[in-house]
Structure 1
Amino acid sequence: MHINSRMIKMAAGLALICSASANAELNVFACEPEYAALTLSLAPDAKVYSATTAMQDPHLVQARPSLIAKMRQADLVVCAGADLEIGWLPMLQMKASNNRVRSTDTGLFYAAEHTDTLDKLESVDRSMGDVHAKGNPHLHFDPVRMLEVAQGLSAKLIQLDPDNKAAYTQALSQFSSQWQAKIPQWQQQAQSLKGKKVIAYHSSFRYLFNWTGIEQVADLEPKPGLAPTSSHLATLLARAEKGDVMAIIVASYQDERGAEWLAERANLKVVTLPMSVGGNEQSTDLISLFDSVLSLLNGVK
């Protein structure tokens, strides 16, 4: 009886362990805050960590010990892709030695692989600056593309955690309904922006401008990834003096000095847009990020 009692207790303990394992929360390492926010919408019970904030340049991240530790624990890594993280993600993967998140066949997810990217290039060399052959990676500012990414990410979550398929399916349905309900409102807000011209820093808002019909007529960078030079700013001033530029646009993490110099001389307004969730007080999730960006653009007088 004593042996049977011990065996029963051991079996019960194993059952509890297995049950806990089956319902264990996924550990998710998100490369950018927009994908941390998307993951939380699709997997509310997951433990989600964002490697960057909206106040950081996602191209330039140090492989800090804290990031290595987080990646070592991850079941899933969610990134923009299109080589946005090429300068730091491979180093993190190597140092973390976590085989679960090395391949998109398992626990690695690139948003750019689940929608069409803009501005693909057949070949790239260093003389072109910081450009991406696989297309512009900042695709989270297109609401239609983000819905496609959400569908792909939900499928990945189900692949990794099939026991909770019903919960993921329900979360995707809820997110999709809320998102699709907002798109007509955003389209209405974007109507007044169509055809407007801006000077902007980098191609950070390429998808937003494409979706709203805003035209970026010049870049504060002489080449992608290079800071504005005095000679380039002088060229931009000549362009701005045509009088058809609505504003100068910079992202929340970008240096505003060149933009302020140009704005003062061209009598233009500098508009700082949140690059991602957390880029300003209003942008607490993906929906409020879109609300804030469109509100700021429509507020330019």
Structure 2
Amino acid sequence: MKKIFLTILLTAGSLFAEINVDATYATMGAIAKRIGGDNVHVVVLGSSKYDPHFIVPKPSLLAKLRRADLLIINGGGLELGWLPPLIKSANNGKIQVGAQGFLDMSHFIKMIDKPASVSRAFGDIHAQGNPHYSTDPHQVSIMAKAIAKKLSQIDPAHANEYQQNLEQFLAKWNAYLTNYDNKMAACKVKKIVQYHELYNYFLRRYDITNIGNIEPLPGIAPSSKHTLELINAMKANGVKKILQDVYHEKRTAKFIAAKTGATVSVIPHEVGAVKGSDTLENFYNTIAQRICK
């Protein structure tokens, strides 16, 4: 009788156990929470307040990776500077590259800005293309489908729930996108300058032209010569909007704005990067509002 009771307890425990999901960045983590619901416990490894290229590999991250059943990464080389040593040290077979509990989201995305060749002479470029695809709200549906499929694979007992959550989420998100696209169609800002090429997917989606970057090359600090050239280009093209992220220095953007009469708008690159961007909807609403106002 005791054995039967113990078996029932173990079975019930496995049915109601949470799946530990680690996401490298907050936007993917927010999507995983929507799809996983009560069946998942989601941990975001990288803070939205910092440069996603250079997350500090703290011991606390190692502890989280050791407990993970699923690791969702952005991919495209974005985590290359900090994540691989952590995965190796975690010694968790579930989340090693190629394992069932490893999900590289970039494999589902049509990457843009792929370089013809890779050289340090071109700055800190990514061989697979621009990895900052999550700034485009239309990529959310792709990511949600990939996460639902992966959760169903590693937790088949709740596969029906993940599918139902996905269908409900997509229905609401498609309605949100229709309204969002209509608002962006009315956006009067059609030319911008950005610090780093964080927003290319968003800009391409809504036909906004980036006429230059404050960085002369990716990962290279702006020089006086490049800044002057950018100021002249902004004046020649009538650019009045500078997109500034939260983690690069802001002095150069303010200087350029003073010389051109442009407005500097701090734009979130991930969910939670700025105040009021703590949900998926608020994240994308904030991007639109701060670009278009």
User: Common fold, TM-score beyond 0.5?
Assistant: yes
2:31: which partner in 1? 38
193, 202, 206: which one pairs with 1:212?
206
1:181: which partner in 2? 175
Q: Does 1:14 align with 2:3?
A: no
1:116: which partner in 2? 110
2:221: which partner in 1? 227
CA distance in 2, matches of 1:104, 1:138: 22
CA apart distance, 1:88? 1.0
Runs of at least 5 residues in structure 2 that lack an aligned partner in the other structure? none
Matches within 5 A, 1:81-230: 81-193=75-187, 196-230=190-224
CA distance in 2, matches of 1:289, 1:212: 16
- The letter of the residue matching 2:29 is A
CA apart distance, 1:272? 0.5
- Alignment TM-score, normalising by the size of structure 2: 0.95
Q: Deviations over 1:199-252 (max 9, x none)?
A: 101110011101111111001001101121222111111112225103110122
245, 270, 274: which one pairs with 2:268?
274
- The question of whether the paired residues in 2 share the 8 Å contact of 1:83 and 1:137 is answered with yes
1:240: which partner in 2? 234
2:44: which partner in 1? 50
CA apart distance, 1:195? 7.0
**Partner secondary structure for residue 37 of structure 2:** coil
Q: Does 1:263 align with 2:257?
A: yes
CA apart distance, 1:104? 3.8
- The question of whether the paired residues in 2 share the 8 Å contact of 1:32 and 1:79 is answered with yes
CA distance in 1, matches of 2:51, 2:189: 28
CA distance in 2, matches of 1:96, 1:176: 34
Runs of at least 5 residues in structure 1 that lack an aligned partner in the other structure? 1-7
CA distance in 1, matches of 2:226, 2:93: 46
2:21: which partner in 1? 28
**Partner secondary structure for residue 72 of structure 2:** strand
CA distance in 1, matches of 2:189, 2:133: 21
- The question of whether the paired residues in 1 share the 8 Å contact of 2:113 and 2:129 is answered with yes
Segment of structure 1 superposing worse, 245-254 or 194-203: 194-203
CA distance in 2, matches of 1:182, 1:119: 27
Q: Deviations over 1:29-51 (max 9, x none)?
A: 11000011010011122111111
CA apart distance, 1:297? 1.5
CA distance in 1, matches of 2:206, 2:96: 36
RMSD: 1.5
- The question of whether the paired residues in 1 share the 8 Å contact of 2:189 and 2:292 is answered with no
CA apart distance, 1:58? 0.7
Q: Deviations over 1:89-146 (max 9, x none)?
A: 1111011111100124411111111121111234312221111111111111223222
- Aligned sequence identity (%): 31
- The letter of the residue matching 1:227 is A
**Partner secondary structure for residue 245 of structure 1:** coil
CA distance in 1, matches of 2:146, 2:228: 45
CA distance in 1, matches of 2:117, 2:15: 46
**Partner secondary structure for residue 175 of structure 2:** helix
Larger radius of gyration: 1
